[in-house]
Amino acid sequence: MRSGWLLCDGDVVCALEIAESFGERAKGLRGRTGCEGGLHLDGVTSVHTVGMKFAIDVAFLTEDLTVVRLARLKPWRLALGRSGVRSVLQAEAGALERWGVQVGDQMVIRLVA
């Protein structure tokens, strides 16, 4: 996993983990008891919470990281993206609302060197 920051309108939204391998993307937040920041999963267009220990928020993103859909999933649920979705941002339930993330926002990912 790589580390970085998620920004919106030049402001830091949260610390970010970036899944780089298929295994990291497939696992997502499964097996954890919580998540301090966010997790970006590139190439993922749908999300399930089978085996999750907590509810999550999901932001579905286009190729240019524009938010096109938000969803809150309890454990053992499924959310599908829509046309144009190229990645997702996962966070603990309630985080996206606290951070002010809304449909139409364009996010930026800054990697930590």
Taken in order of first residue, the domains within the chain and their CATH numbers are: 2-111 (2.60.120.1140)
User: Three-class SS of residue 97?
Assistant: helix
Residue type, 11: D
pTM summary value: 0.91
pLDDT, residue 13, reads 95
- Maximum CA pair distance of the chain? 36
pLDDT tens-digit readout, 81-108:
999 999 999 999 999 999 999 999 999 9
Question: CB under 8 Å to 31, separation ≥6 — which residues?
Answer: 51, 53
